[in-house]
Copies of this chain bind each other. A is one copy, B any other.
Amino acid sequence: MSNKITPHPKTASSAKHAGLTLLQRTMERHVGLSASERALLAQYEQNPISTRKEALLWRAGNKVGELFILQSGWATTTRLSRDGEQQIIELMLPGDIIGLGEFTFAKHLTEARMITQGSVQSFPHENIVDIIAASTPITVALFANISRQHALVTERMLNAFHRNSRSRVLHFIIETFFRLEKIHHVELASFAFPVSQRLLANMLGLTPVHINRIFKGLEQDGLLKKFRDRIEIYDVKGVMEEAEFDNDYLAGDVDGLKERLAMLSPSDGSP
């Protein structure tokens, strides 16, 4: 019913950051790319598809067939838990590669779904094999990408085990802010956050009722207010202190590998 995906050839690459496409930028967070490597990536972003809110990208149990590069909008991957709930595993933001962690599985473990309208670039999963064969730097960037995606989940588990609910909420908000900041300019004082209290509760392992109580408290304390699609932070200092955010796990550098990558033959990477 809400699973419809409609073609939309005109939503292509955001032309910021020296004309790089989103995918190119995502990879260049981690490694430098040659012109031919950029071209290799560009060929996979020719045909973005516009999606509606709630659009289903795949279902758990489906044969793994394609990944999606999220071009605009927000999405989630979820897993069905024993009690019949869809537990959100990952929150995907523009530039993220949805399904990179599952291209080596025969069947999807997760379900992937847009939570806002947006656009995605489909990407046959076998092509990952071609990219691996064609370019070592891009492959390293893919490892870097998947590892950071995993670090987000790890961090969420860590926080679930060691923080109370209020601290978890604040941490998550700040984490999301920093992720957004890597994509485009955002103001901490007021930024887009199209996540319902219900979804937030799900991601953090809390109940919507309790999440609501937390936001009530945060507002009464003059720290921030959550609107339907946006968060406004009134007391930046207070929020940052209480969130105790340390963004090591979002760091992009692959320092120790640069020399080794430079030693590789420069012919690497052209299609």
Contacts and interface: CB of A to CB of B under 8 A. Distances in A.
A205 interface: yes
A150 B101 contact: yes
Interface in A125-141: 125-126, 129-130, 132-133, 136, 139-140
Interface residues of A, number: 60
A106 B143 contact: no
B248 A109 contact: yes
A147 B102 CA distance: 7
Contacts of A236: none
A261 B64 CA distance: 16
A162 B85 contact: yes
A87 interface: yes
Given A30-B104, A81-B161, 4 more contacts: A79-B158, A103-B257, A104-B257, A133-B268
A contact face: mostly helix, strand, loop, or mixed: helix
Interface of A: 30, 63-65, 79, 81-83, 85, 87, 89, 101-107, 109, 125-126, 129-130, 132-133, 136, 139-140, 142-144, 146-147, 150-151, 153-154, 156-163, 205, 244, 248-249, 251, 253-257, 259-261, 264, 268
Given A104-B144, A146-B147, A151-B109, A163 B82 contact: yes
